[in-house]
Copies of this chain bind each other. A is one copy, B any other.
Amino acid sequence: MRRRIPYLGRVWETVDEWQLLERIARRVPKAGDDCAVVPWRTTNLLFTLDMLHRTTDFPTGTTPYTIGWRSVAVSLSDIAAMGGVPLAVLLGLSVPEFDPAFTDEVLSGAQDCCMAAGSELAGGDLDSSEELFLSSCALGECARPVLRRGAQPGELVCITGPLGATAQALHLMDDGQAEAANTLLRFAPRTSEGQRISKVASSMIDISDGLAHSLHLLAEASGVGFRVESERIPWVPGLQDPAFSYGEDFELLYTVPERLHRPQLGTAIGRVTNSGVYLSGPDGVPPLPDRGYSHGR
């Protein structure tokens, strides 16, 4: 059975993927953050791998150029989320047909995205499969990477940009506005923002699995809680149905001591607390459930 496209942040019945990820993280100690951190000489190398499929990751109407762009952007976003400087990217293409026009467009999108992030496409792999499948791997460097753990009660929690870009792109695609949708899908990885934020942040993550789940991951890794003010959360203009479980957004979520906060780096949406993840709004302060994007079925 084909899986549904999970972009719209519907809640899956099972959380098996996350359970399995936790199990893997126990076996592979360096996994469990946005990138693997490899201490080397006087610095750290950052190293991350992402897999993307046609049916799950690219809605109908996504151009080959956007597919290439977005595939490498996802990995560059992981480098950004630790404050890293990207050094190089690899892109593996498993394609149903060896179609040079298609691969040219995919590579152009990937190369342009790498250039936008100050990096370069350095190689990859090619083979064939029934479904389009891409593997993107980014290499970066950072003397002091910002981890998911490190948040302290009393600090601010901030986000680099509005939520819902991918959800809005899907609405535009359904509405026949494919070009506008593709533009929105080609997000710029926040690598330069991540490097500036890393000078002041105590913890950081990208919100690729949705705001709610990303808050829970930070909370668990840091042993803290969050109280987010719902009216402070920025949303993409025109979004019809804001949802905290929207996945596939690639803004950075980070915590910072209040005296080091700079509004030009990100919007403060709440505070670090001792425990629990709560959303304060007109309806009181209910818990924000740990829901978001998962590759469940």
Contact = CB atoms under 8 A, between A and B. Distances in A.
A24 B31 CA distance: 31
A128 interface: yes
A157 to B, nearest CB: 25
A49 B100 contact: no
Contacts of A130: 131
A98 B56 contact: no
Given A40-B87, A128-B297, A30 B122 contact: yes
Interface stretch (A88-96, A210-218, A283-291): A88-96
A123 B45 CA distance: 13
A188 B126 CA distance: 24
B88 A125 contact: no
Interface stretch (A133-141, A146-154, A195-203, A238-246): A133-141
A47 interface: yes
Contact of A124 (B28, B41, B104): B28
Given A49-B137, A94-B51, A123 B28 contact: yes
A24 B28 CA distance: 34
Nearest to A31: B123
Given A49-B124, A123-B30, A133 B139 contact: no
A259 interface: no
A38 B92 contact: no
Given A28-B107, A129-B133, A297-B128, A122 B17 contact: no
Contacts of A127: 17, 51, 53, 56, 295
20 contacts: A17-B98, A20-B103, A21-B126, A23-B100, A24-B107, A24-B124, A27-B104, A28-B121, A30-B122, A36-B90, A38-B122, A41-B41, A49-B124, A50-B125, A51-B92, A98-B296, A127-B295, A128-B297, A129-B131, A130-B131
Given A50-B125, A130-B131, 12 more contacts: A17-B126, A20-B126, A24-B107, A24-B124, A24-B126, A30-B88, A38-B87, A38-B139, A47-B90, A47-B122, A49-B137, A53-B94
